[in-house]
Structure 1
Amino acid sequence: MKGFKDFILRGNVIDLAVAVVIGAAFTAIVNGLVDGIFNPVISAIFNADEISKATIQIGSVNLGVGLVIAAVIQFLLIAAVVYFALILPMNKFKEAAYVRKHGHPEPEAAAEVTDVELLTQIRDLLKAQQSR
């Protein structure tokens, strides 16, 4: 029971639960923007009542390509709204907070060392130790 209690009280579980609840609430906002603003604009641009009803007939089969196109457009719109409404402002906010706290912009992360570079460094260090 102690292990379970530790697991539940660990911050990650609570953070995840809060993220799910906030994500569900934010979904309503994003869907409202997409359904209420962006989809009507796209329908007006393409002069279509509903993109999702577009089909292509091949022989006796109707392929619902409109559903796929609508899903792709919906995904791209949601991704754009999330990026420009959440991610970009939060990144700017974090940068500004870092500058306020430290007085200078955050230094860029160093490039990751590749396996080959790391092995080359180890080889050179071993050679230097042997020559002493």
Structure 2
Amino acid sequence: MKTFIKEFKEFAIKGNVVDLAVAVIIGGAFRAIITSFVDDIIMPLIAAIFSIPDFSELSFTANGTPIMVGLFIQAIVNFLIVALTIFVVVKLITRMKKKEEETPAASPVPTTEEVLLTEIRDLLKEK
């Protein structure tokens, strides 16, 4: 049982798990912002364009059952905005990582032995 707890501690303390937890929390907050953006700005604009007072109530009835098309369209718009935002963020992060990889590392300073060997090599080439 002690080894199980020890292994769990090692797993839980790893950076990836903490990063994932932070990402989930930020994602939840981001979801609330996107939902508000779509519900309070985008969908009223779409409703105004199509002269529908409340787009979320757009529905039709099939055999006495209301089919809520407006809510479905709202969910699609939410998804598209979140997917687009995540795509842009991933592209930016990838671009920043590429820039870091492109910057060449400083060449290591040669040791005194290497300098002496280089001088000897150059002298031998001259003769």
Q: TM-score, normalised by structure 2?
A: 0.62
Task: Could you tell me which runs of 5 or more consecutive residues in structure 1 were left unpaired when the two chains were aligned.
Answer: 104-132
Distance 1:73 1:90 in 2: 26
SS at match of 2:8: helix
After superposition, where does 1:46-61 map in structure 2 within 5 Å? Answer: 46-58=50-62, 61=64
Q: Does 1:34 align with 2:38?
A: yes
Question: Which of these residues, 1, 7, 31, is aligned with residue 3 of structure 1?
Answer: 7
SS at match of 1:47: coil
Tell me the CA shift for residue 21 of structure 1.
0.6
- 1:51/1:22 Cα in 2 relative to 1: closer, same or farther (>3 Å)? same
Distance 2:71 2:16 in 1: 32
- 1:58/1:42 Cα in 2 relative to 1: closer, same or farther (>3 Å)? same
Tell me the CA shift for residue 58 of structure 1.
4.8
Distance 1:43 1:25 in 2: 26
Equivalent pair of 2:59/2:70 in contact (CA under 8 Å): no
Residue 20 of structure 2 corresponds to which residue in structure 1?
16
Equivalent pair of 2:57/2:71 in contact (CA under 8 Å): no
Larger Rg: 2
- 1:97/1:19 Cα in 2 relative to 1: closer, same or farther (>3 Å)? closer
After superposition, where does 1:111-126 map in structure 2 within 5 Å? Answer: none
Distance 1:56 1:73 in 2: 14
Counterpart residue type for residue 18 of structure 2? I
Task: Output the aligned Cα RMSD.
Answer: 2.4
Counterpart residue type for residue 13 of structure 1? V
Q: Does 1:78 align with 2:78?
A: yes
Q: TM-score, normalised by structure 1?
A: 0.60
- Percent of aligned positions that are identical: 31
Distance 2:35 2:92 in 1: 24
Task: Could you tell me which runs of 5 or more consecutive residues in structure 2 were left unpaired when the two chains were aligned.
Answer: 104-127
